[in-house]
Amino acid sequence: MTLQLLKRAEENAEGDLVFDRPNGREVNVSKLLQETPRVSGDVSLLVIEAEQAADDDRHGPENPARPATAEVAEAVVARLDEGVRPAWEVVG
């Protein structure tokens, strides 16, 4: 699907790749392909990512998830070992 979108897209005045849908609405393919922040409510996942980011021998996440709520963030911080920071603070 992505390749089809790229083939149909043309560069607009701002330099973005766009194409017009049959209903007349414009789709900005450049914005669709941009990496966006990940959000998670899974405390275990966020703890694992923090541990990976803290481990010098392992490659941590390039786009770590951010907590979905303040309560999730507090639960993650409570489960981390001393000196380990959440991955969303270290990487992002």
Query: Do residues 73 and 67 make contact, with C-beta atoms less than 8 angstroms apart?
Result: yes
Predicted pLDDT at 74: 96
The 10 Å Cβ neighbour count of residue 61 is: 18
CA dist., res. 72 & res. 8, Å (int): 42
The encoded tokens of residue 58 equal: 């392992």
Predicted pLDDT at 20: 85
The stretches in the chain having pLDDT less than 70 are 1-2, 5, 92
